[in-house]
Amino acid sequence: MDIPRISFIDRLKGLCIIAVVMGHFIIWPLGIEDDFITSFVTSFHMPVFMFLSGFVISSSPSFCKSVRKVLQFIFPMLIIGSLYVFFRHQTIDSFFFDSTKKGYWYLWVLSIFYLILSFLSQNNEGKTVNPKKETIFGIFVFCFFLFIKFLAPSRMTQFLSVDQCFNLWVPFFIGFMVRRYSLINYIRKYDWIPFISLLCYIVLFRFYVTGIKHIYLFLILFSIPIFIFLFYKRENDDTLIERELARFGKNSLHIYIYHYFLLRSISLPELGVWFYNSGNIFIEGVISLSISILIAYVCVLVGNIFKEIPSLYKIVYGHILK
């Protein structure tokens, strides 16, 4: 099995987390609910992030390992998420029974995915891995999320963040399978794969921005090979931009859990109205990206401060079992 390409993973995670901050900056401080930039970033940032989250798993995690990983996801979600709810003068009940967990859904959903993969590990224990059976397992899980998405009570689906599980299980599981069976080289070897994906992405994105949202699952699947190809191809390159993207990627958890506080402290509705009325996507993109990068650096600084307090860091980041 190929050695994981750390630079490739960190840089792409860095791009995705900046895109997340950028999308949230446009929605909240600027007050623009839906425009071209937010549609673009949401078409790839979390799908690619979920692909990478699956890709870094070299083998099906045991139940014990899954529990340790879940603690590392759940603790920052609960602790920092509860502080955020208090900061927003909202209730804990509204946190748990909100499908997005006030923005912290990614850690919740990733915990669910890890626990699901642990069942695959138990089924394969002592046996040779079988790609067909594992593919069937992935399809079964997808169908299960589809089933509860439409048939389970709404309060249950909101608690489990079923919408997010349904949309992102496929890229997560594909990432896991690509790493497990060393399929990443095919994207670079057969460059027609990202080329066809780009063409399909452009066509689907055109429909998506006009309001046809039910094609989202297909759109995000075509976005993944494009970004994987671009970053994987530059694995051995080293520029200032790529080094900073890697820095953001390595600190993506810090950026993710702290950026909400900073964004909710900023209000720029007049600027948002000007962007919306002028339709100047370029200026909107440059300003939004610049502020998002600044916010990311502040979040990294906050995370590094936490590291200087080891006892507190272990609790907040769920490392209590180490």
Question: In this predicted model, what pLDDT tens digit does every residue of 221-239 receive, in sequence order?
Answer: 999 999 999 999 888 888 9
- Count other Cβ atoms within 10 Å, centred on residue 24: 22
Using alpha carbons, list the distances in angstroms from residue 177 to 44, 136, 226, 304: 19, 12, 18, 33
The pTM of the whole model exceeds 0.85: yes
How is residue 57 written in tokens?
Answer: 């798993």
Q: What percent of the chain has pLDDT over 70?
A: 95
Please give the Cα distance from 145 to 113 (Å, whole number). Answer: 11
Q: What is the pLDDT of residues 143-186, one digit of tens each?
A: 999 999 999 999 999 999 999 999 999 999 999 999 988 888 88
- Structure confidence at residue 254 as a pLDDT band (50, 70, 90): very high
pLDDT value of position 208 = 92
Cα 249 to Cα 77: distance, rounded to the nearest angstrom: 18
